[in-house]
Amino acid sequence: MRKYTLLSSLVLLGSLSLMSACAGGSAESSGSDSSAAHGGASPAPSSETATVDPAKIKGLNVVNDSSNDRSCPWATSYPDVPGAKAMTAAMRADVQGYLDGYLGKDSSGQATACGGAATSNASELPELNISFSMMVASGDVLGVRLLTQNRMGTGDGLTTKTYWYDGAAAKYRTTLDLVADGSRDAFTKAVKDQLKQKEGIDLTLLDQLGASEMDDASFTSGGDLKITFDRGSVGVPAAGRMTVTLPEATVSPWLSDLGKRAQKQTTDPSGTLDLGATSTPAASVPTESATGNDTTDCAEVKCIALTFDDGPAAPETATLLKYLAQYKARVTFFTVGQNVAAHPELVRAEAKAGHEVGNHSWSHPDLTRLTPAQVRQQLERTTAAIKAATGKAPTLFRPPYGAVNAQVKAATTLSPVLWDVDTEDWKYRDSAKVAQTVITKASRNDVVLMHDIHPTSVAAVPEILRTLTDEGFHFVTVSHLRATL
């Protein structure tokens, strides 16, 4: 029996209210829980926090992975920047550590549980979501923040950590390295003095606080230094996340050479990033253009809608576009906002080639676990990125994990799209198996779920296109399939 059908997706159309675009919300908070502000794991920075357009970083590769298991949802993402291999390795190790702990792997590496939780209550299901934001990418300094949300039961489990790369020394650095060795005592005392003035502080935890525990710090556009503490790390959990801001005049004398350069490149960026990479790979962008509108009548011929989630990814999406062009196949891409922001040129190529670009949220959280405001932020921020890349706003969205309810539907006018055939390509990284799943299970007018972030899935596409074309199938977008039935 099929779990998701096109008909059920069509029923979800209509009666959805239009909300204005939202990109607000801050990761920082002073004595209050800010989890509602960042859409479930990808906070938009406050107006005081410096951020970087990832599309300006040459050779940037966003490393994505996720499951499609509604009972054990997880999605991870972090940047891989040319020249910063040591920092990438540090992020990879932390992400893998979080994932192994979440899945409960045994000594052989096999998953034995999902967060150690077993419940039929959707509101108590575990969820792991790791996303990122770029703080500095200029001169010889790179700064990245990872945002990890590990939901266990009803808690939000949000933690943040910043990573730094010093191109001048060709070394990965921690937040502690922003402060000169001889100034760390004064720095720590200043932070503690500010924390003592906040409600909900646990003095026992505060006494134990050292500079090495201050692992989330970033500069504002004015040169101040913000240090953010996870919920429960320096105060009672009810007090939420806490932030200390040290003014530029106070903190500048305490900064190390790296700290001074990081501050300078935040307040007055040079506009180019040079970490000493021996080569910076240029992204391959296909140039195929659609020749007119698709005139396929799915009421008369066999149609199928291939859909690809979680991209765009370099170089996988570019390779996929070339395969699709060879068969004049049109598909629907459900893109993740932070990847659209990193690779708008690939999204433009998708649209130019006649494919449909849909919305798959900003950072792939379970939307049913979010507030209406968070759902709107996740979807509208992604819609804005897609429109900026293609000139056209999407009309469809695919809820991560297929998790959708009345509250999610009421928060957007986008039409939800689920699927008929799940290739489980996220689980089986085997191109032959993926191809056979589609070929043997797909029927007329089906919507097929795949992911263009996996090389094995992309490698399966030529066989799928060749075999199903021989069987008389026509490859169309979801919107075209709906319109012609």
Catalytic center residues: 309, 451
Question: Are the beta carbons of 52 and 79 closer than 8 angstroms?
Answer: no
Those residues with Cβ within 8 angstroms of residue 474's Cβ, 6 or more apart along the chain or in another chain: 296, 298, 301, 302, 303, 304
Question: Are the beta carbons of 49 and 226 closer than 8 angstroms?
Answer: yes
Those residues with Cβ within 8 angstroms of residue 274's Cβ, 6 or more apart along the chain or in another chain: 83, 139, 140, 167
- Token pair, residue 27, equals 């990761």
Cβ density class 219-258: b for 16+ within 10 Å, e for less = bbeebbbbbbbbbbbbbeeebbbbbbbbeeeebeebbbeb
- Token pair, residue 228, equals 């953010």
Tell me how far apart the terminal alpha carbons of the chain are, to the nearest angstrom. 22
Question: Are the beta carbons of 403 and 367 closer than 8 angstroms?
Answer: yes
